[in-house]
Amino acid sequence: MDIRPLIRKEVAVLKAYEIEDVSARVKLDAMENPYALPEDVRKEIAFAIADAPVNLYPDPQAKGLKAALSEYIGVPADRLLLGNGSDELIGLVISAFGGSPGLIAYPAPTFSMYGIIARSLGQETMELPTTDDFGLDFDGSLKMMMDRRPKVIFIANPNNPTGNLFDRDKVRRLIKGSGAVVVVDEAYYSFSGETFINELDEHPNLIVMRTLSKIGMAGLRVGIMAASREILTEVNKVRLPYNLNTLSQTAATIILKHGEVIDCQVKLIVKEREKLFASLSALDGVTAYPSKTNFILFRVSGASRIFEALKDKGILIRNMDSPGRLANCLRVTVGTPEQNAEFVAELKKMTG
């Protein structure tokens, strides 16, 4: 039987999010934290997991984890909703606030999952213009929004893959003037230090999204959203009851209680980011873009060829090279000092 006529047309035209083989020796493609947890924390997790009642469904409200997150983030637990990674939350927000079809907008270039998830949920998408230095083109964006009235706007701040923070006042004016639900995605907050979380009470249409993935817990898949109770009530209606498994809840709760470990690793990554930026900027033919995240976007001629040559050396970064704004762009995650040094040394041989 030919199943093709049965596929939803929005899905048939989609391309799955591509993730390279993850077995690279030097893995700098996915904004993971390169540092392992200390032995004592790992043991604590192992003991707790040995006792975890995996024969029972997980706590649907993830109360223990929410309490730990509330303390870590500084937002009351009843203003949080958790997802299986923030990827899941993107889908839940669109399910709750999109239309049939609705319009989902985001400044471009940005994190590709906003568009992929929106389209898979039958939504139309609209790319808002940005300036040459990847800032928000506020007037252009406002005009497009007034013409077409998106239901949800995603603003990754700092942005992926460009690494920059958007102008705070422009973001605030978009939240106030857009007439849409605005998601400020602060996946890289720990490396930027800038947040809209303290403005939640001012803006009833604001959602602030965070993730534990970039600060050492990518394998646990914990995404966080903070918003008004009104928004949370609606998003909670489309959330599957057991979306966060018991092992992730248990492990993340323990790791968050060792906040000093996370903070120390984040400080190291930020220090290494600045060193890596200086090294890349010093290379002939490489233009590195300043970053407030744990990765750096850079432009180099023959980017796709260089990407493949690095891969042959066992160094995996992310190829962003595509016609338009990201032509000849590559993105490298900040790794350990040794990983960064090896990456820079190989890149130097290829560009020099």
Residues near ligand PMP (CB under 6 A): 31, 85-87, 111, 156, 160, 185, 187, 211, 213, 218, 223
For ligand PMP, the closer CB: 213 or 319: 213
At its nearest, how many Å lie between ligand PMP and the CB of residue 21?
17
For ligand PMP, the closer CB: 144 or 218: 218
At its nearest, how many Å lie between ligand PMP and the CB of residue 113?
7
Specify the 3-state DSSP secondary structure of 67.
helix
- In the numeric block, which tokens belong to residue 5? 């006529």
Helix segments in 16-132, DSSP class H: 39-51, 63-73, 86-97, 113-120
At its nearest, how many Å lie between ligand PMP and the CB of residue 62?
15
Q: Which residues of 8-47 are buried (b: 16+ CB within 10 A; e: fewer)?
A: eeeeeeeeeeeeeeeebebbbbbbbbbbebeeebeebbee
Dihedral, CA of residue 185, residue 105, residue 234 and residue 199, to nearest 10? 40
For ligand PMP, the closer CB: 117 or 342: 117
At its nearest, how many Å lie between ligand PMP and the CB of residue 86?
4
Closest residue by beta carbon to ligand PMP: 85
For ligand PMP, the closer CB: 227 or 279: 227
Q: What is the DSSP letter of 162?
A: T
At its nearest, how many Å lie between ligand PMP and the CB of residue 43?
26
Chain centre to alpha carbon of residue 148:
26
For ligand PMP, the closer CB: 82 or 286: 82
Query: For the chain, where are the E strands, in sequence order?
Result: 26-27, 80-83, 103-107, 124-128, 152-156, 181-185, 206-211, 223-227, 286-288, 295-300, 315-316, 318-319, 329-333
Distance between CA atoms of residues 317 and 161, nearest Å: 12
Residue 168 parent element (H or E): helix 168-177
Cβ contacts of 186 within 8 Å, gap of 6 or more: 157, 192, 195, 196, 197, 208, 209, 210
At its nearest, how many Å lie between ligand PMP and the CB of residue 84?
8
For ligand PMP, the closer CB: 191 or 298: 191
For ligand PMP, the closer CB: 159 or 279: 159
Q: What is the DSSP letter of 179?
A: -
